[in-house]
Amino acid sequence: MSTPQLSRRLKRSEASALVPWISAKVLASISVKQLLLQDEAYLASVAEVGLIMTGSLRDGGRIFFCGNGGSAADAQHLAAELTGRFLKERPSLAGIALNTNTSTLTAIANDYSYEEVFSRQIEGLARAGDVLLGISTSGNSENVLRAMEVARRMTVSTAALTGKSGGKLATAAEHCIRIPSDETPRIQEAHILTGHILAEIVETELFGD
């Protein structure tokens, strides 16, 4: 039977053995972000989407976010950066995550289908001049794609955050911000970086440096 002291030594040893592996994961994340610095399409797309969001909010529009799983968490995170604050003390901005109302999600999924959970909300809540930002690492999430289709019919500006290929969202959205990676964790890490940059563009453009 191991003593508590021996158990602690074993845990420290196991933890030390993981350090090179952890370092490799940090480096993998850094390498994707370094690629972003050289990716002119990425840089231009982020600037364009940031200014589109700014223009919509300046004119009284709203920014809708949607995604599944980890991308759902990113959607509500980014909505909170607008309605709360990012870096500045300033008035609240209209950021709405479409994945947070469980009654709405389950009603639409039950009565229609899960593929309609975002598109039905866009149909009922959005108006021309708003912006929809869909988040999908694969770029192929059907419910995000359907939301894009409805949004474009309603003259709602559309943008997507995806992985390297862009998937179907590359053409379904007017603007597709692609992260140059095929690894879901690395893509998601760069998505939140990108979302923070978008929030800072909005704050800077609307409220100054």
- pLDDT reported for residue 126: 98
Name the average pLDDT for the chain: 95
- In contact, 90 and 78? CB cutoff 8 Å: no
Give me the mean pLDDT over the 4-23 stretch: 79
The residues pairing with 133 across neighbouring beta strands, listed in sequence order, are 65, 159
| Spans of all domains in the chain | 1-38, 39-207
Kindly state the DSSP code that residue 115 receives in the 8-state scheme: G
How far apart (Å, rounded) are the C-alpha atoms in residues 6 and 15?
14
- In contact, 169 and 176? CB cutoff 8 Å: yes
pTM exceeds 0.75 for this model: yes
- In contact, 149 and 120? CB cutoff 8 Å: no
Sheet holding 175-178, edge to edge: 95-97, 63-67, 131-135, 157-162, 175-178
- The vertex-77 CA angle with 168 and 65, nearest 5°, equals 40
How far apart (Å, rounded) are the C-alpha atoms in residues 205 and 200?
8
Hey, what are 55's tokens?
């223009």
Q: Is the pLDDT of residue 12 over 90?
A: no
- pLDDT reported for residue 11: 72
The residues pairing with 95 across neighbouring beta strands, listed in sequence order, are 63
The tens digit of pLDDT for each residue in 132-159 reads 999 999 999 999 999 999 999 999 999 9
CATH architecture of 39-207: 3-Layer(aba) Sandwich (3.40)
- pLDDT reported for residue 6: 58
The tens digit of pLDDT for each residue in 24-75 reads 999 999 999 999 999 999 999 999 999 999 999 999 999 999 999 999 999 9
- pLDDT reported for residue 147: 98
Backbone φ/ψ region at 104: left (φ over 0), alpha (ψ -120 to 50), beta: alpha
- In contact, 197 and 190? CB cutoff 8 Å: no
- pLDDT reported for residue 117: 98
How far apart (Å, rounded) are the C-alpha atoms in residues 41 and 104?
36
- pLDDT reported for residue 13: 77
CA nearest neighbour of 188 among 107, 63, 44, 70: 70
Give me the mean pLDDT over the 78-88 stretch: 97
The tens digit of pLDDT for each residue in 102-137 reads 999 999 999 999 999 999 999 999 999 999 999 999
Q: Is the pLDDT of residue 209 over 90?
A: no
- pLDDT reported for residue 110: 98
Q: Name which of 13-22, 117-126, 198-207 the model is least confident about.
A: 13-22
